Structures are given as C-alpha cells and as structure tokens.
Amino acid sequence: MVNNYKDSVIITSFDQNYIEYAAVFIKSLSINYHEDHIFDLMCLVPQNLLLQEGEFVNKINCENLNIKFKCSDRFNKLDKDGLAYEAGYISKNMSHRLFIGSLFPQYKKGIYIDPDTYVNRNIKPLIDYPLSNKLLATVEYSGMSKKTFSNPDLPYFNNGVFIADLDYWRKENLEDKFINWIKNNGPTDCIEQDAMNFVFRNKWSPLPITFNLLAFKLTEDKKLSQNYEDPLIVHFVGDLKPWGEAVIPTWTNKWRELQKKLKN
C-alpha cells in the first residue's frame, strides 16, 4: 500500500537559542526519511527568526524535506498577554505547538517532534502509524500527573513527539481550551504539556516508547538501553542536552558527530 502524505505535516519548534540544535535533528530526520514524497516540515519560530529560513534551509541541504518557517498570530497574542510561560530549559516558544490546528488548516494529520531529538533510523514507522485516537503520544514516566494534577493514577504523556488529528483539533476548538486552562492554572513547570494533557484527557492513546525514548532515563535505568537498544527517536529532554557537558552513552556522541558534519 502506497501512503499519501499530502494531508500530513511534520512540525517542530525552536527559537534563536535552539536553532543550531534543531538543525541537527532535522538533518537526522532527512537522513532517515526514504520515501519518494517530499515531506512538508514546518518550523514554529518567533517572528524575529522568519527571515533566517533561507540560511537555515541551505545549512540542512536536503532535497526530501520542504522546510518552512512559520509563526502563529495566536501564539503572538498568547505571548503578548503574558501567558507563554518559560520554565527552566523550556522556552516560551514551546507553547507555539498549541496552535498547529489553526496555523496549518491544509493538513489533517500533524506529526510533532521536539528539536532536542535525534532520529536514529527510518522514520516510516512513525509517519505511517495509524491515527487510532485524537492524539497519540508516549507515556511520560516521571510523576508529572501527580505534580500537576495531584493524581498519580492519571495517564500523562510527553508531548515532545505526538501525532494529532488536526481536523478534531479545529472542530473542537482545542486552542481556546488550551488558553483557558493556561489562564486558570499557569504557570506550571511544563505549561503547554500540562494544558495538552488536560484537554486531551480520555482522548489519547500511547505511542511506542521507541518513538520518544527519554534520554535521561537511560542514565537512571541501565536495563532500558538494553531493552531499547535501537530506538527510532532519542529525546534529550531535561537538562542532559548533547551540546552540554552531560554524556548519554551512545546517543550524545551520535548527535555530536552529526553536528560536526553540519558545521563542515
């Protein structure tokens, strides 16, 4: 069966602080995308980065991705209203992902991937994954449900990688619901992730851990690297970034090797 990707879009988001690192993720994606269709890749950026699109595309130098920089008016208003919160390593631009439904009306399926990731192998299993619910994401096993919602038994996902039904996103006016939740509950440690977890409660299903392997967990659980030795995506969530001093066995070096190739 030949998949029609015209209704699908891959999305990421970054600001000036992450643009160099996002290039490594996108290059790893390009290397591991092997279909004939040129896939649309939309980069959610602040307005002041829009003019850097051409330079960025030239740096990536790939022919299988159609890379565009986009900025949402709704995100700009959220920021202007003081509701695009920052927390530690999480920049305000991370809230940009809340508006992918309105920003991309031409697409039915959105595949979001954070910029602090590394695509390790063929991306096809992710882009072909059946959309069996309104949102698909990997369960986060870090106690966030208890911290945010005071309920340790509430399913909670990490929104660093997710697949979304964008028709549902628009039809149910989810963006207004995200904003209302933020107004009533912000700030929190992961404001846009918490808002998505609240709004999508009982409307999401899990993705395989291999689609969003949280790198810091590899340092906490040595068995994890044995059980998942060939993940599709490694996510350097938290403060153990590959451009910092911390080293995650195998994956930090792979990321750094690709970064060096981009610089040459």
Tell me the pLDDT of the chain (264 aa) as tens digits.
Answer: 457 799 999 999 999 999 999 999 999 999 999 999 999 999 999 999 999 999 999 999 999 999 999 999 999 999 999 999 998 889 999 999 999 999 999 999 999 999 999 999 999 999 999 999 999 999 987 889 999 999 999 999 999 999 999 999 999 999 999 999 999 999 999 999 999 999 999 999 999 999 999 998 888 888 888 899 999 999 999 889 999 999 999 999 999 999 999 987
Residue 76 has φ and ψ, to the nearest 5°, of: -60, -40
The CATH number for 8-211, chosen from 3.90.550.10, 3.10.20.90, 3.40.50.800, 1.10.10.60, is 3.90.550.10
What pLDDT, on the 0 to 100 scale, is given for residue 220?
82
> What distance separates the 2 farthest-apart alpha carbons in the chain?
49
| Residues in contact with 42: Cβ distance below 8 Å, sequence separation at least 6, in sequence order | 9, 10, 11, 12, 68, 70, 103, 104
Locate all alpha helices (DSSP H) within the chain, ordered by sequence.
19-31, 53-60, 73-80, 100-103, 124-127, 144-149, 166-171, 174-185, 191-199, 215-220, 222-227, 251-263
What pLDDT, on the 0 to 100 scale, is given for residue 2?
52
Q: What CA–CA distance (Å, rounded) separates 18 from 9?
A: 21
Q: Token match 């988001």: residue?
A: 13
Token pair belonging to 120: 């390790």
The Cβ of residue 62 has, within 10 Å, a number of other Cβ atoms equal to 17
What pLDDT, on the 0 to 100 scale, is given for residue 97?
99
Q: What CA–CA distance (Å, rounded) separates 64 from 66?
A: 7
What's the start-to-end Cα distance of the chain, in Å? 39
> Percentages helix, strand, coil for the chain, rounded to the nearest 5?
40, 20, 40
Query: pTM score, two decimals?
Result: 0.97
Q: What CA–CA distance (Å, rounded) separates 172 from 26?
A: 31
Give Cα 176 to chain centroid, integer Å. Answer: 21
Q: Token match 């991937």: residue?
A: 113
Q: Kindly list the distances between the CA atom of residue 124 and the CA atoms of 31, 37, 121, 191, 234, in Å, as whole numbers in the listed order.
A: 12, 12, 9, 30, 16
| Residues in contact with 41: Cβ distance below 8 Å, sequence separation at least 6, in sequence order | 9, 10, 11, 12, 26, 29, 65, 66, 67, 68
What pLDDT, on the 0 to 100 scale, is given for residue 1?
45
What pLDDT, on the 0 to 100 scale, is given for residue 21?
98
What pLDDT, on the 0 to 100 scale, is given for residue 263?
84
